Amino acid sequence: MRKKLFKLAMQDKWEEVIEIYKNNPQVQGENLTRAKGTTLHVAISAGKEDVALQLLLEVSKENVEKILKTKNETLSTPLHVAASHGMHRACWNMAERCPTLVTTERNRRGETPLFTAARHGKEDAFFALERWVQRVNPPPKDMRKRDVTHCRREEDGNSILHFAILGEYLGLANEIIEL
């Protein structure tokens, strides 16, 4: 079944992929690619946000956390990949279904999905995820006590602001300063 899903995805036959995904829940978290990408990873990487949203609708409540926490070989979840591609609707949907993904799941470089959106300058995805951060961890009255560890990369300690400036995403950098 995995080979068939992969072949259909590569042939851009997403309606058939969705049908198989819907009727075979056991394949939803399976790796399709050598890089350990699931069907959701593949759809997002292919730029198919609407397909990703349809696939997400087919995941049961019991399996959604497992599916969304499945990592590829770079230890990226589907949310990391959606954030790096700027797919704000998919980011919002995944964060809504599993809010802890936004601040706790880290890829090989120690980046959260929020960090990944900032590193790639994907403002809409960044702000969709930042709204979830504020819902899950409301800012304290004393902003100096706000937990911002999710805004730093574990690999080198750089922050979302560093990468917004380095990438010359100055509008995003300004918004991060305001936050």
CATH number at residue 107: 1.25.40.20
The verdict on 108 and 177 lying in the same domain is yes
Examine residue 78 and state whether it is found in any structural domain, yes or no: no
The verdict on 104 and 61 lying in the same domain is no
The closest alpha carbon to 117, from 163, 64, 73, belongs to 163
The verdict on 121 and 158 lying in the same domain is yes
> pLDDT value at position 148?
79
Alpha carbon distance 40, 38 (integer Å): 5
The verdict on 68 and 123 lying in the same domain is no
* 1 pLDDT more than 80: yes
CA-angle at 148, arms to 178 and 145, nearest 5°:
85
Range of the domain at 6: 1-73
> pLDDT value at position 124?
97
**What pTM, to 2 d.p., does this model score?**
0.91
pLDDT in tens, 159-177: 999 999 999 999 999 999 9
> pLDDT value at position 93?
96
Return the number of other C-beta atoms located less than 10 Å from residue 43's C-beta: 29
How many domains does the structure of the chain reveal? 2
Q: Among all chains, which residue has been given the structure tokens 């699931």?
A: 38
Summary mean pLDDT of the chain: 92
> pLDDT value at position 140?
67
pLDDT in tens, 102-156: 999 999 999 999 999 999 999 999 999 999 988 877 776 766 676 778 899 998 9
pLDDT in tens, 35-87: 999 999 999 999 999 999 999 999 988 899 999 999 999 999 999 999 999 99
> pLDDT value at position 60?
84
The verdict on 69 and 105 lying in the same domain is no
Examine residue 94 and state whether it is found in any structural domain, yes or no: no
> pLDDT value at position 56?
95
For residue 32, give both structure tokens: 């399709």
Residue 106 carries which side chain, given as an amino acid letter? R
Examine residue 147 and state whether it is found in any structural domain, yes or no: yes
CB-CB contact of 115 with 150 (8 Å): yes
CA torsion angle 38 104 51 93 (round to 10): 150
Cα of first residue to Cα of last residue in the chain, in angstroms, is 46
